[in-house]
């Protein structure tokens, strides 16, 4: 009986290896497609690292499109918007700010002022603005105790 098992064992091992190989194969193209849909390895769709000092300077620079700067509308350090419908930016997540500016720039978000303000921003400028405003003290609040 042990002779038969010794003769069959290599065949079973070979069969198991074939089954595993069939399950894991998919070819190069399938792996490339999986990599294409994988989560990004950097934040904000690959924006470069932001510079807080450069962002602070840029936040006060008047844009050609509207003649306004970021702080003209969102207030000093992004926490004093001139209109209650404008968001406070100070202390917001840098990834969120960068993503929002990219969307305004690319036309995925539409706002009369922001779309034209963001249209000519480079990736580095977006990263710098996001780094600056995220580094400011947060005055963001949730809705607890509002009513």
In 3D space, the residue among 51, 61, 44 whose CA is nearest the CA of residue 124 turns out to be: 51
What is the pLDDT averaged over residues 47-63? 94
> Mind listing the domains of the chain with CATH numbers?
52-135 (1.10.760.10)
Q: Tokens for 86, please give them.
A: 């404008």
Phi, psi at residue 59, to the nearest 5°?
-65, -25
Q: Tokens for 97, please give them.
A: 């700010």
Give the pLDDT score at 63: 86
Question: Distance between CA 73 and CA 30 in Å, rounded?
Answer: 48
Q: Tokens for 137, please give them.
A: 């003290």
What is the pLDDT averaged over residues 130-137? 96
Give the pLDDT score at 65: 82
- Whether 55 shows a pLDDT value over 60: the answer reads yes
In 3D space, the residue among 123, 137, 140, 115 whose CA is nearest the CA of residue 55 turns out to be: 123
Higher-pLDDT residue of 1 and 108 is: 108
Residue 2 belongs to what H/E stretch?
helix 2-24
Higher-pLDDT residue of 108 and 44 is: 108
Q: pLDDT tens-digit profile of 76-124?
A: 899 999 998 999 999 999 999 999 999 999 999 999 999 999 999 999 9
């Amino acid at each position: 009986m042990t002779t038969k098992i010794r003769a069959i064992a290599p065949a079973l091992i070979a069969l198991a290896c074939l089954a595993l190989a069939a399950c894991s194969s998919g070819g190069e193209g399938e792996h490339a497609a999986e990599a294409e849909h994988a989560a990004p390895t950097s934040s904000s769709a690959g924006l470069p690292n932001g510079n807080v000092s450069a962002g602070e300077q840029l936040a006060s620079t008047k844009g050609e499109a509207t003649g306004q700067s970021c702080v003209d509308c969102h207030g000093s350090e992004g926490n004093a918007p001139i209109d209650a419908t404008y968001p406070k930016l100070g202390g917001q997540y840098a990834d969120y700010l960068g993503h929002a500016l990219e969307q305004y720039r690319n036309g995925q978000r539409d706002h009369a002022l922001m779309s034209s303000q963001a249209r000519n921003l480079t990736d580095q400028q977006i990263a710098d603005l996001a780094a600056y405003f995220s580094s400011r003290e947060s005055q963001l609040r949730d809705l607890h105790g509002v009513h």
